[in-house]
A and B are shown apart, each in its own frame.
Chain A
Amino acid sequence: MRSHPADYEFVSPGSIGAVLELLHCEPGEWLPVAGGTEVMVQYSAGRLAARRLVNLWDVKELCRITETDTTLTIGGGSTFTQLREHRSVQEHFPLLAQAASWTGSIANQNRATIAGNIVNASPAADSPPALFAYEAELELVSVSGARRIAYTDFHLGYKKTALAPGELLFAIHLPKRFAGWFRYGQKTGTRNAQAISKVCIAGVGRLAEGRVESLHIGMGAVAATPLRLRKTEESLVGAALTKSAIANARHVLLTEIAPIDDIRSSAEYRGHVAGNLLEALLCTFAASKDVA
């Protein structure tokens, strides 16, 4: 059953301060909406539980991308189009630009925002693996001020996040320290365009004297939340990327993912593809000339 617009309240306070005040006064009551590519789908299908919505699309403070010598700060309201076209994202965080280009269609990319992608907390979202790889920090704001947390501390369980009632994801901070690092990103979906991932991966790493010095890997659609593959990384740091090390990493990977059966894939297939993607990443890494 389609929703009736008369049943919904939708207000546009117009500034970050006014939005936060509203969220503060009635915590948990208001659902923020930016580009609407998730919320409007639920709304049209009659599945949107929230009846009171607050507009973020016209909040200009959320749409800034700024940088210093050491950090790129992406406002939560930045669209995927902005991300993939931004020179500094392309230069310093190409896996994020790539993930943005894989998300939905051009029309969706023109509306969908990075904060929406993160806060919606789909385990299959395209940007989280890259954000894990680049060790993103999130800046959460409320009327009481701002706090910063590591992105690895944000997802607590299926669709459960560290965002408190009254808080908004204001910005994503990325350290500009991956120049010259090896990088690898891949997505397996039903078709190239506009498909939700069956499995997606992003990783960056550095070799020193033929051994893994650093490695950060994020993976999507293999657990209740997007995952940073800590155990798999740890099994490889200090090791040479031999066939047996890669086979062992594949084994460790299976102990830290928990894929499920759903309409897009089966747990068995996802487990296998996850292993293949990890192996492809590591083989490419082993063959890379990059030693920073």
Chain B
Amino acid sequence: MSRKMFSMLVNGEAQTLEAYPMERLLDVLRDHLGLTGTKEGCGEGECGACSVLIDGELVNSCLVPIAQANGTEIVTIEGIANGRELHPAQQAFLECGGAQCGMCTPGMIVATVHLLKKYPRPDAEQIREGLNGNLCRCTGYMRIFEAVEKAAALELTR
């Protein structure tokens, strides 16, 4: 099978690239576009380290062949901040100690952004469900949950 041309909007920038249709979106982001903030953990849709938004929907980029991302709008962790101004989710993770080794953090933040768009004032259960596809092996999650609550508060006052 030969490579084909694919076009998409990544973090607001139009991108056209040549790839095999079955290349994973995760690999295209990291290897073709140099967007290494999106991490690979399990590579099978369990850990959420590779979370990105496609047309506003939270997805595991390790499970998306690039052909299925053609013509879509993608947001990665690199596109969450507004220039040098951190997104409330990023600010809250910093302030609450919601990150330790950092491997899960980009996915956690992207999942948090998705959650807050759906539920601007999430309750504890919605937070747990919204992040249940994102595994963290350092924090024990409590500070992450606190960070999401704080992010919701920050976003509402923004």
Contact = CB atoms under 8 A, between A and B. Distances in A.
Contacts of B111: 106-107
A110 interface: yes
B133 A107 contact: yes
B148 to A, nearest CB: 13
A3 B20 CA distance: 12
Contact of B63 (A40, A192, A193): A40
Contacts of A192: 132
B143 interface: no
Contacts of A44: 24, 43-44, 62-63
A291 interface: no
Given A40-B64, A105-B48, A53 B114 contact: no
B104 interface: no
A55 B67 contact: yes
A106 B130 contact: yes
A40 B62 contact: yes
A111 to B, nearest CB: 6
A43 interface: yes
Contacts of A106: 58, 111, 114-115, 129-130, 132-133
Which residue, of B48, B63, B129, has the highest number of chain A Cβ atoms within 10 A? Answer: B63
Contacts of B60: 107-108, 111
B133 to A, nearest CB: 2
A163 interface: no
Chain B: interface size category: 20 to 34
B88 to A, nearest CB: 20
Contacts of B22: 3, 5, 8, 10, 43, 53
A143 to B, nearest CB: 24
A55 B68 CA distance: 8
Contacts of A2: 43
Contact of A57 (B68, B114, B133): B68
B45 A6 contact: no
Nearest to A51: B1
A12 interface: yes
Interface in B14-35: 19-24
A6 B20 CA distance: 6
Interface string A1-36: 011011111111000000000000000000001011
Interface residues of A, number: 34
Nearest to B70: A12
Contacts of B57: 81, 110
Contacts of A6: 1, 20
Given A10-B1, A36-B63, A108 B133 contact: yes
B79 interface: no
Nearest to A7: B1
Contacts of B19: 5
B13 interface: no
Contacts of A55: 65, 67-68
Contacts of B62: 40, 44
A10 B114 CA distance: 29
B58 A110 contact: yes
B95 interface: no
B131 to A, nearest CB: 8
B41 to A, nearest CB: 12
A36 B68 contact: yes
Interface string A83-120: 00000000000000000000011111011000000000
A61 interface: no
Contacts of B132: 105-106, 192-194
A247 interface: no
Contacts of A57: 68
Interface in B108-157: 111, 114-115, 128-130, 132-134
A45 B24 CA distance: 13
Nearest to A8: B22
List the 7 closest A-B pairs by CB distance, nearest first: A105-B133, A193-B132, A5-B20, A10-B21, A40-B63, A5-B22, A8-B22
